[in-house]
Chain A
Amino acid sequence: MTVWIAIAVTAAGCYALKYAGLAAPRRLLDHPAVRRFAMTVPVALLAALVAVQTFSDGGSALTADTARLAGVGAAATALLLRAPFLVVVAAAAGTTALLRALGLG
């Protein structure tokens, strides 16, 4: 049930954020603090998500799952090689799955 509440809050909030942009006076965009917040916060959050989801199982312990680490490493390598999104995702899942099949991690 709490999951449904979180979904409802997320959906309503995400819609409100989108609508606010269309409805707000666009002078807001010229406000440096607004622009800075909107552009920079996602970078901090996304980097944090990469780190947390790579080095934990979602709980309160930091872990280093070899197969998952290798999968994220493969994704980074694919990005360095400017691979398309599909390849990046496939490299991550494929590498992790392969290592698990081989009994590593």
Chain B
Amino acid sequence: MRDALGIGLAVGVSGVAFGTASVAAGLTVAQTCALSLFAFTGASQFALIGVVAGGGNVIAGAAGALLLGARNTLYGLRLADILGVRGVRKAVAAHGVIDETAAAALAQPTPAAARTAFTATFAALFIFWNATTLLGAAATERVGDTSAFGLDAVGPAIFLALVWPRLREGRRIVLVAAVGAGLALAAVPVLPPGVPVLVAAAAALLGPAPAAAEGGAGGADGPDAPGPDTPAADADRPREVRP
């Protein structure tokens, strides 16, 4: 529980940053809060408002947000057996399948502890993320011009913090990041705003060969041994990640 509160507080900080950046990007307070309530996955939210800020193609923005959200599917796959939820509870639990809850749950020694960790982290994050989104959005709406506060540097800083732990995985991942960034920058002058980031997804083809370190992933992380024992879990390392 204490861990859940700690993660909740850390997430609250980025909630304020999101609310602030979103209103600065031109969204209303209501739109900003709707994103945090119903999308509830930070990187995707930041990606969408980044495109809106530039007056870009919002469909491309939504596509980028969804591509980023695809990693939550992977967390769901890993969590399904451990949580063992059905029906309505499954529908509710699904909303909470994000970086932090997956990490908290998968780090527990038993399925029961994993379920508790998931629920506590989900609850804490949902409350903090939405409350602080509202706080940041409402405050920014009153201030008006926010360029003096340097908020345009906050978006890239958050994305950098998100990708940072992944860059330690090896040269191939660094190559993917570098090529992705290069492709996107090259596309900025020629493609509508929002699309260059999608183009960068092609860089993932340069990723490390999947067969390499996947050995034990098959059944090792079932209900009896949930834990950060696979490459995926390492990569999930979500301490510094938003919902």
With contacts A14-B40, A22-B97, A45-B180 taken as known, whether A50 is within 8 angstroms of B160 at the C-beta atoms is: yes
A99 to B51, CA, bound (A): 25
A residues within 8 A CB of B154?
A: 89, 92-93
B90 at the interface (CB under 8 A from A): yes
Would B152 and A68 count as touching, CB distance under 8 A?
yes
List which B55-95 residues lie within 8 A (CB) of chain A: 55-56, 58-59, 61-62, 64-81, 83, 85, 90-91, 93-95
Check: B225 CB closer than 8 A to any chain A CB: no
C-beta contact mask, A39-52 vs B, less than 8 Å → 1, else 0?
11111111111111
B157 contacts A92, C-beta separation under 8 Å: yes
In the complex, the answer to whether B157 meets A88 with C-beta atoms within 8 Å is: yes
* Minimal beta-carbon separation of A53 from chain B (angstroms): 4
Asked if A36 and B210 sit within 8 Å, CB to CB, the answer is: yes
* 0/1 interface trace, chain A 83-101, chain B, CB 8 Å (1 if under): 0111011011111111111
CB distance from A5 to the nearest CB of B (A): 7
Which bracket fits the contact residues of A? 35 or more
Contacts of A26 in B (CB 8 A): 77-78, 80-81
Q: Are B159 and A49 in contact (CB under 8 A)?
A: yes
Say which size band chain B's interface belongs to.
35 or more
Q: Say whether B52 faces chain A, with CB atoms less than 8 Å apart.
A: yes
Q: How far is the CA of A97 from the CA of B176 in the complex (A)?
A: 32
Interface centre among A62, A79, A85 (most CB of B within 10 A): A85
B35 adjacent to chain A (CB < 8 Å): yes
With a 10 A CB-CB cut-off, give which of B75, B80, B184, B196 has the most chain A CB atoms. Answer: B184
Closest to A94 in B: B150
Interface string of B154-183 (1 = CB under 8 A from A): 111111111110110000010011111111
* Minimum distance in angstroms from B69 CB to a CB of chain A: 4
**Are the C-beta atoms of B13 and A89 separated by less than 8 Å?**
yes
Q: List 23 A-B contacts (CB under 8 A).
A: A3-B58, A10-B65, A11-B39, A22-B93, A24-B73, A24-B80, A29-B78, A30-B217, A32-B210, A35-B214, A40-B176, A41-B67, A44-B203, A47-B200, A48-B199, A49-B159, A53-B152, A59-B193, A72-B157, A89-B154, A89-B158, A93-B149, A100-B147
- 6 closest A-B pairs (Cβ-Cβ)? A21-B76, A58-B54, A96-B150, A71-B153, A48-B200, A44-B180
| Chain B residues with a Cβ under 8 A of chain A | 10, 13-14, 17, 27, 31, 34-35, 38-41, 43-48, 50-56, 58-59, 61-62, 64-81, 83, 85, 90-91, 93-98, 147-164, 166-167, 173, 176-185, 188-190, 192-193, 196-197, 199-204, 207-208, 210-211, 214, 217-218, 231-232, 235, 240
